[in-house]
Chain A
């Protein structure tokens, strides 16, 4: 079974600064997806960024980027130019690539609560 670990229960950053959230995972599979989801106080789960394991290039989405280290099984999220609206709980998640074995099943980390200070 796969496991996902987020070792930082809480993080804080000053507005306009950069912050990195850590995530490690354990798997014996070679093909999978990794995700970062954001959960603001509204409770809605919002996809921030995704990475396919077969891609060597790190994914980027505007101010959000990842550092994907497949051999080290590490998947950190970097938020640049932090904004007040980035304050939320962030979840790292893993999904096996084959649809037949994974369907809609994700394995989530414990979450990191990000505070953005003005």
Chain B
């Protein structure tokens, strides 16, 4: 029972490099999202998706791209990494079909990204 799987768990990049954080869920959840966690700021929403082919921006979308070609996968792309993107990233999923319907999010284990 994998739940939400994120890879890689740790990554070091140089400024200007690109990379993709992978996120996959096996619960057939229609809703998925990406958050970043920074000290003293809690978790902030980067991008989210309400279903395959549909994505939208969250609170802090600049510097990140997403796509959702399947229900299971929701990758987060950094096109040109900057030191300000050093953070811990979480992928999460949820579903309106879960019973009882509590609005709970299911989180991946997080990915620590350092940009030098």
List residues of chain A with CB within 8 A of the CB of B30.
103
Inter-chain contact A106/B41, CB cutoff 8 Å: no
The contact sample of 28 A-B pairs, CB cut-off 8 A, is A4-B42, A6-B42, A35-B103, A35-B104, A43-B112, A44-B107, A44-B109, A45-B90, A45-B105, A50-B102, A50-B104, A95-B103, A97-B103, A99-B31, A99-B96, A103-B48, A104-B31, A104-B33, A104-B93, A104-B94, A104-B105, A105-B33, A105-B45, A106-B43, A107-B45, A108-B35, A108-B43, A111-B42
B53 CB-CB contact with A under 8 Å = no
Inter-chain contact B40/A110, CB cutoff 8 Å: yes
Q: How large is the interface on A (under 10, 10 to 19, 20 to 34, 35 or more residues)?
A: 20 to 34
A52 CB-CB contact with B under 8 Å = yes
Query: Roughly how many angstroms separate A115 CA and B107 CA in the complex, as a whole number?
Result: 24
Instruction: For the A-B complex with A103-B50, A104-B29 known, give 4 more contacts whose Cβ atoms are closer than 8 Å.
Output: A104-B93, A106-B45, A106-B105, A110-B40
A45 (CB) vs chain B CBs: closest residue: B107
Inter-chain contact B43/A91, CB cutoff 8 Å: yes
Q: Which of the residues A50, A91, A97, A103 comes within 8 Å of B42, measured between beta carbons? A: A91
Inter-chain contact B110/A43, CB cutoff 8 Å: yes
Q: Which of the residues B58, B88, B103 comes within 8 Å of A43, measured between beta carbons? A: B88
Tally of contacts, chain A with chain B, CB under 8 A: 70
List residues of chain A with CB within 8 A of the CB of B58.
105
Inter-chain contact B103/A50, CB cutoff 8 Å: yes
List residues of chain B with CB within 8 A of the CB of A4.
42
List residues of chain B with CB within 8 A of the CB of A91.
42-43
Q: Which chain B residues in 11-28 approach chain A with CB under 8 Å?
A: none
Query: Roughly how many angstroms separate A108 CA and B90 CA in the complex, as a whole number?
Result: 13
Q: Which of the residues B42, B90, B102 comes within 8 Å of A110, measured between beta carbons? A: B42
